Amino acid sequence: MGVRLRGVEKVFEGGVKALRAIDLEIGEGEFVSVLGPSGCGKSTLLRIVAGLEWASFGEVEVGERGPHPNPLPAYGQRGHEKRATQVSPLQERGSRVAFVFQDAHLLPWRNVIRNVMLPLELLGWDRARTRAAAGDALSQVGLSDALDRYPAQLSGGMRMRVSLARALVTEPALLLLDEPFAALDEITRQRLDEQLRALWKARAMTVIFVTHSISEAAYLSQRAIVMSKRPGKVLLDHRVELPAERPARLRGEASFASEMRTLFDALERGEA
Amino acid sequence: MKLLLSLVVLCSFSAACDKKDAPAPVKKLTLQLNWKPEPQFGGFYAARESGAFAQNGLDVEVVAGGVGTPTVQMVAAGKAEFGIVSADELLISRGNGADVVALFAVYQTCPQALMTHASRGFKEIGDLFRNPGTVAMQKGLPYASYLDKKLGFERVRVVPSPGGDLGVFRKEKEYAMQCFVTSEPIAAKKLGLDAQTFLIAEAGYNPYTTVLVTRGDYLRANPDTVKSVVNGVRDGWTSYLNNPIATNQMMQKLNPTMDMQTFADSAAAQKDLIQTEETKKYGLGTMRAERWETLGKQLVDLKVVEKAPPASECFADLLKK
Amino acid sequence: MIPLVIIVVLAEVAVRREWVASYLVPAPSKIIATLVSSRDGPELFYATGQTALAALTGFAASAVIGLAVAIALSSARWVQRAFYPYAVFFQTVPIIAIAPLLVIWIGYGMPTVIASALIVSVFPVIANTLSGLLATEPALVDLFRLYGASRSAAMLKLRLPFALPSIFTGLRVAGGLAVIGAIAGEFITGGGLGGVIDISKTQQRTDKIFAGLILAALLGIALFAIVNLASWLMLRNWHASERT
């Protein structure tokens, strides 16, 4: 599932301009990370792609053009601001786009497996299929023995893995992540990065990953987009020159450091 | 000159010190009523307004009451020197250990009644209980137990008394409510309702009502004060029965829920309950030992009190003729 | 328990030594004697049963109606602004003034007592439920939007469960109020503990009044305990309030 943004701008109520003239084209199956200083609008950008916010100006297209085994309806937003309570065209694509927030945001009154079953419940799948798919997703993130636990009983890292499983349970074509591992310790974070990359490779989905962390962006993505400070625009759209196979020790290599340098410089420019 | 001045000062000083001629300090007393200002208390307000209390050196404050004012407890506890209760309340209270004594009975015939609609065609109080319907009474009052024993409540639904509110009476025909013959029936007739009343006294239960009482030990300690109060009360009632208008106007300001016409009708309706053959013989407010004894026996019979106190303890006739 | 024992002992001594007159405050021993007496005991316990039935029914009605009203009020801001003030009416109306009117409209008997219990206890349910419904975490709301959840799905699977702790807070308050409302209604219609207390007042039976009051308090406590049990059962896995 590809994403196309043309001239997208976002102005919030009260006149705060979050994004200006964003032009972006992301191909199907790409892993793209979005970097930028705090408040630069990267989260807003992600939410616009998700359909949680509407762009003030410009065009947003999410979906396929041309022949594809499962064509999904493309949609376009043009022109003026709409109220967020309006029905989002997401409902048509609900099964194909998934979002992972910075906090796991699990439903505290449901246990782990029922949390992962939620998206399929909302989409109307029958109970047996739902349970099987949820169990599957949880085994993919390595939580098969925590099915009956409640979120309050889990560590931060485990909760985030449940959130990931929930996002993957619908087998999304487009996975959006907003600084998902920011609140975790470094080791857990690296492990989850590796797990995410493996899942991406296995499923051929498009991933847009918003992050603060330069090393995370360098490690995970094929392409890194650096944004300026608010109002954000694209400063750098950089193809990451690292091999397709990214073992953990890659982080110690010189090539890795050089990628990080490129990204760091762009960020500095954006801050100025 | 100085000598004359000091002589004058001395004389006036000694005159002021002369206890015989100096006015006695005014005693402030409280008389607690058990309902709002209405003609049933006319004589008490008249006693105050006409100066009958003042000329005996008394400043008696007449305090109005309302729904559920616990006058007998207030007198027993010393919160008020004087209060208004009914004779059966007094006997119950004495049975509980309170030393309350009756001094003056306004109503020789108890004005407690049951009011229903004339269209039901009842002839006497028993009819109310022989035919299905609703009867609103304060079940805790002894008269209710008396009626239950004498007539039986099986055929009617008994509900709490609405406290003078005619709302349900207006709406329902098969409904009878507790009332004082001097108030609710008059208000009902004003609303154009066909009210018919049956006195409880006709069924045989007739305690003295609107009775002035005080504490036993207060009476023993201040016999003259109490006697003066009772005198004042009797004068006040005499005056009120002769001409109630001025006092009614004064009471109406305190209790605007009734208009002047209703006050007048009520004052007229109560005259025969207050002035009877006995009061002509023995004076207004008089009480007879036999009636206290009869009441005592009735209450024992109804198991409202365990033992009837001797009549001599219950009342003090301070104004024997 | 200890403060209660001390108070009871003090009261007993005070009455026996005549520091306080017995016709004003009855000795605790007399109250207990009245509760177990063959003359008054059965009457008091039957009355408690009647009040309990009315209070429970009123409370259940309060829960259902309060929940429904809160859900309706939460649907849109203008709805809330337009109608919430009228709900506040239920908090401020003095039931003693309304009850006689209820009797005229509904008649004597249990329906009026139940209505009285309902009127007095419904507002806390509305207020607390609404507060809980409006506090749903925005990110969770986004999550539901992302998957195209219908409004009813969002209400049933997200907003209501999220609001449960607040709902239980409201129910805890409503339980005791339902008892008060029932007794206030019974003062006017007769029957139940309200009827017994009213009659005992006229009869100057302060021991019976206190016995009735104690039974009423126990009834309120019982309702409170029931709500607490339900709260523990439903929240114990996930809410901080029931996890310690």
Assess whether pLDDT exceeds 80 at residue C189.
yes
* Residue A90 Cα, gap to closest chain C Cα (Å): 6
Compute the distance between CA of residue C48 and CA of residue C197 in angstroms, rounded to an integer.
Answer: 11
Compute the distance between CA of residue A131 and CA of residue A117 in angstroms, rounded to an integer.
Answer: 6
Average pLDDT (C22-37) is 81
C146 vs A109: CB contact, 8 Å cut-off? no
Assess whether pLDDT exceeds 70 at residue A223.
yes
Compute the distance between CA of residue B226 and CA of residue B318 in angstroms, rounded to an integer.
Answer: 9
In this structure, the strands spanning B175-180 and B112-117 are antiparallel
Residue of B89, B160, B304 lying closest to C198 (CB–CB): B160
* Residue B159 Cα, gap to closest chain C Cα (Å): 5
Nearest residue of C to residue B305, measured between CA atoms? C203
Write the DSSP string, B99-139.
-EEEEEEEESS--EEEEEEGGG---SHHHHHHS-EEEE--T
Nearest residue of A to residue C137, measured between CA atoms? A105
Structure tokens at A22: 């964003």
Secondary-structure breakdown of chain A: helix, strand, coil percentages, each rounded to the nearest 5 = 40, 20, 40
A122 vs C164: CB contact, 8 Å cut-off? no
Judge whether A162 and A145 are in contact, CB under 8 Å. Answer: no
Judge whether B263 and B252 are in contact, CB under 8 Å. Answer: yes
Nearest residue of C to residue A105, measured between CA atoms? C140
Q: Could you count the other beta carbons within 10 Å of the beta carbon of residue A108?
A: 19
Compute the distance between CA of residue B194 and CA of residue B212 in angstroms, rounded to an integer.
Answer: 34
* Residue C23 Cα, gap to closest chain A Cα (Å): 55
- Residue A205, beta-bridge partner list: none
Q: Could you count the other beta carbons within 10 Å of the beta carbon of residue C125?
A: 27
Q: A146-155, B8-17, B58-67, B219-228: which range is least confident on average? A: B8-17
Residues in chain B with CB shorter than 8 Å from the CB of C212 are none
pLDDT of residue A71: 27
Which chains are adjacent to chain C, needing at least 3 Cβ pairs under 8 Å? A, B
Residue that the structure tokens 């049975």 belong to:
B95
A109 vs C142: CB contact, 8 Å cut-off? no
Residue of B73, B140, B141 lying closest to C24 (CB–CB): B73
Percent of chain C scored above 90 by pLDDT? 57
Nearest residue of A to residue C236, measured between CA atoms? A109
CA distances C14 to B57, C17, C156, C214, Å, are 39, 5, 57, 19
**Interface with chain C: mutation pick from B134, B135, B139, B306, highest number of C CBs within 10 Å:** B139
Nearest residue of A to residue C164, measured between CA atoms? A109
Average pLDDT (B159-172) is 89
Residues in chain C with CB shorter than 8 Å from the CB of A107 are 140, 157-158, 161
Residues in chain C with CB shorter than 8 Å from the CB of B139 are 190, 195, 199, 202
- Touch test B–A: 3 Cβ pairs or more under 8 Å: no
The dihedral formed by the CA atoms of C106, C109, C115 and C117, expressed in degrees to the nearest 10: 160
pLDDT of residue A248: 82
* Residue A223 Cα, gap to closest chain C Cα (Å): 26
A107 vs C146: CB contact, 8 Å cut-off? no
Closest C-alpha among A63, A61, A62, A22 to residue A41: A22
* Residue B219 Cα, gap to closest chain C Cα (Å): 20
Residue C239 at interface with chain A, using a CB cutoff of 8 Å: yes
With H, G, I as helix, E, B as strand and everything else as coil, classify residue B223. Answer: helix
Per-residue buried b or exposed e for C174-192, using 16+ beta carbons within 10 Å of the residue's own CB: bbbbbbbbbbbbbbbbbbb
Residue A232 carries which DSSP code? B
Q: Could you count the other beta carbons within 10 Å of the beta carbon of residue C22?
A: 17
With H, G, I as helix, E, B as strand and everything else as coil, classify residue B86. Answer: coil
Model ipTM value:
0.82
- Touch test C–A: 3 Cβ pairs or more under 8 Å: yes
C143 vs A99: CB contact, 8 Å cut-off? yes
Q: For residue A74, name the pLDDT band (cuts at 50, 70, 90).
A: very low
C103 vs B167: CB contact, 8 Å cut-off? yes
pLDDT of residue B81: 94
Residue of C137, C148, C239 lying closest to A90 (CB–CB): C148
Residue B134 at interface with chain C, using a CB cutoff of 8 Å: yes
Secondary-structure breakdown of chain C: helix, strand, coil percentages, each rounded to the nearest 5 = 85, 0, 15
* Residue B138 Cα, gap to closest chain C Cα (Å): 7
B92 membership: H or E segment, kind and range: helix B87-95
Q: For residue A91, name the pLDDT band (cuts at 50, 70, 90).
A: very low
C140 vs A92: CB contact, 8 Å cut-off? no
Amino acid at position B17, single letter: C
Residues 27-86 of chain C with CB under 8 A from chain B are none
Side by side, which strands form the sheet with B133-136?
Answer: B156-159, B133-136, B175-180, B112-117, B195-199
* Residue A220 Cα, gap to closest chain C Cα (Å): 25
What is the torsional sign of CA C76, C78, C80, C86?
negative
Q: What is the pLDDT of residues A156-190, one digit of tens each?
A: 899 999 999 999 998 888 999 999 998 888 888 88
Compute the distance between CA of residue A238 and CA of residue B30 in angstroms, rounded to an integer.
Answer: 98
C190 vs B73: CB contact, 8 Å cut-off? no
Compute the distance between CA of residue C56 and CA of residue A163 in angstroms, rounded to an integer.
Answer: 42
Compute the distance between CA of residue A106 and CA of residue B26 in angstroms, rounded to an integer.
Answer: 81
Residue C18 at interface with chain A, using a CB cutoff of 8 Å: no
Compute the distance between CA of residue B137 and CA of residue B158 in angstroms, rounded to an integer.
Answer: 7
C140 vs A52: CB contact, 8 Å cut-off? no
Assess whether pLDDT exceeds 50 at residue B309.
yes
pLDDT, chain A, mean? 83
C164 vs A101: CB contact, 8 Å cut-off? no
Q: What is the pLDDT of residues B134-155, one digit of tens each?
A: 999 998 889 999 999 999 999 9
A119 vs C147: CB contact, 8 Å cut-off? yes
Residue of C140, C145, C237 lying closest to A88 (CB–CB): C145
Q: B229-243, B295-309, C81-95, C106-120: which range is least confident on average? A: C81-95
Assess whether pLDDT exceeds 70 at residue C22.
no
C147 vs A122: CB contact, 8 Å cut-off? yes
Residues 280-319 of chain B with CB under 8 A from chain C are 304
Half-sphere CA count of C114, side-chain side, radius 13 A: 14
CA distances C19 to A123, A258, C15, C25, C160, Å, are 74, 93, 6, 10, 55
Q: What is the pLDDT of residues B244-297, one digit of tens each?
A: 999 999 999 999 988 899 899 999 999 999 999 988 888 899 999 999 999 999
The dihedral formed by the CA atoms of C180, C182, C187 and C193, expressed in degrees to the nearest 10: -90
Secondary-structure breakdown of chain B: helix, strand, coil percentages, each rounded to the nearest 5 = 50, 20, 35
Assess whether pLDDT exceeds 70 at residue C244.
no
Residues in chain B, overall count: 321
C243 vs A152: CB contact, 8 Å cut-off? yes
Residues in chain A, overall count: 272
Residue of B134, B138, B304 lying closest to C108 (CB–CB): B134
pLDDT of residue A99: 92
pLDDT, chain B, mean? 89
Q: Which residue has the higher pLDDT, B16 or C13?
A: C13
pLDDT of residue B56: 81
Amino acid at position B27, single letter: K
Residues in chain B with CB shorter than 8 Å from the CB of C199 are 138-140
Residues 133-152 of chain C with CB under 8 A from chain A are 137, 139-140, 142-149
Q: What is the pLDDT of residues B111-139, one digit of tens each?
A: 999 999 999 999 999 999 999 999 999 98
Contacts of B11 (CB under 8 A, 6+ apart): none
Residues in chain C with CB shorter than 8 Å from the CB of B160 are 187-190, 195, 198
* Residue B97 Cα, gap to closest chain C Cα (Å): 8
Structure tokens at C48: 């408690």
3-state DSSP of B261-319: HHHHHHHHHHHHHHCCHHHHHHCCCCCCHHHHHHHHHHHHHCCCCCCCCCHHHHECCCC
Amino acid at position A83, single letter: R
